[in-house]
Amino acid sequence: MVRSRFLAAWPAIALVAVGATLRAQQDSAVPDPVFAKPIPAQAVPMPFPPNAAPLETARSIQLRAPDQMSEPDRLLEAGAESSIAERAGYADIAFNEGKWSYTQLVCPALPNHLFLRFTRNNGVGDVSVFSASIPRNGEGHIRIIPIQRRSYSLFSPAPINALTIAAFNRIRAEDKPETAPGWLGTGLCYAALAGANPAAAQMDAQMEVMTGAKKYPQASSPILYIPPQGGAVIRFTDMSAKPQPMAWALEFNSKGRLLKASHTSAGIAPEQAVPLSTAEQAAKPIPPFQ
């Protein structure tokens, strides 16, 4: 008897299920109300929006001797020397010994910091170099980036050193410029702080650069890649590097934090081109400067 009542209930269950299905189909056929708003597509986070800053025309970092610096910048350097000496001592750089000279690195992408490069040249095999960062607005810390200590790199070459990358990220976090920084200027500023006097190539991508009788097929105009997940990859060739141009690649995450830097020879024909990184392979390049 129990089994019969259970079987008898099946038609009712089936009708309820069919009714629910029909109601769902009817509900899905109802058009959206007129006041409904479409959900916008999620924007790709870009730390260097291509159109956020005026077109960059400078393709190199300007170097200024002390007598070319502004009076406020010279006073800022003088007031920071004791702190610079203390921090250089942590890196075993004897700033209080020997004759040091300095040059200002003009980085418009980070306007709220004064950047200096200090050098002590005691001849071949005894050259020490480091960069110093001094906040102009008093918000931040004085930092140094070791480049060479008595002609040797500390830990690993400064352009790819994790300490250089970490210092650069802290400087950028402190700078807080009023407008979004230009991507090329940011890349050149990093190269300058790491010891280069960068001058970016000025020809169309894929063209070979001629320097004397040598061809550099990997040299290219500065280019910005924007991966689908956001972030940025900046590539440029420093044509001022000796004995041959050097190719730079800087990879940033979606929040603008520098993750990785590479610094390799641009190559002399017929060397093979350096392959793109994983992020670049899936990225959409922004057209180079005109």
Q: Where are the domains of the chain?
A: 62-286
Residue corresponding to tokens 């299920």: 17
pLDDT per residue, tens digit, the chain (290 aa), is 444 443 343 343 333 333 444 454 445 555 555 666 666 666 777 888 776 555 566 788 999 999 999 999 999 999 999 999 999 999 888 888 889 999 999 999 999 999 999 999 988 878 999 999 999 988 899 999 999 887 777 667 899 999 999 999 999 999 998 888 889 999 999 999 999 999 987 654 334 444 444 555 556 778 889 888 889 999 999 989 988 899 999 999 999 999 999 999 886 544 344 455 665 555 555 544 43
Provide the pairing of β-strand 258-265 with 101-106: unpaired
Q: Which two tokens stand for residue 137?
A: 């607005």
Q: What's the rounded Cα separation, in Å, for the pair 232 and 253? A: 7
* Cα torsion angle, 198, 182, 285, 289, sign: negative
pLDDT per residue as tens digits for the range 40-56: 666 777 888 776 555 56
Task: Quote the pLDDT of residue 151.
Answer: 73
Structure tokens at 156: 């690993």
User: What whole-number distance in Å separates Cα of residue 206 and Cα of residue 210?
Assistant: 13
Beta strand extents in 62-211 (DSSP E only)? 62-64, 101-106, 113-121, 127-135, 143-148, 209-211
pLDDT at residue 20 in the model: 44
Distance CA 201, CA 209 (A): 8
The pLDDT value recorded for residue 98 is: 85
Cα 84 to Cα 116: distance, rounded to the nearest angstrom: 11
Q: Are 190 and 261 in contact (CB under 8 A)?
A: yes
Give the model's pLDDT for residue 40: 60
Q: What is the rounded CA–CA span in Å between residue 168 and residue 161?
A: 11
Residue among 255, 211, 250 nearest 230 (CA)? 255
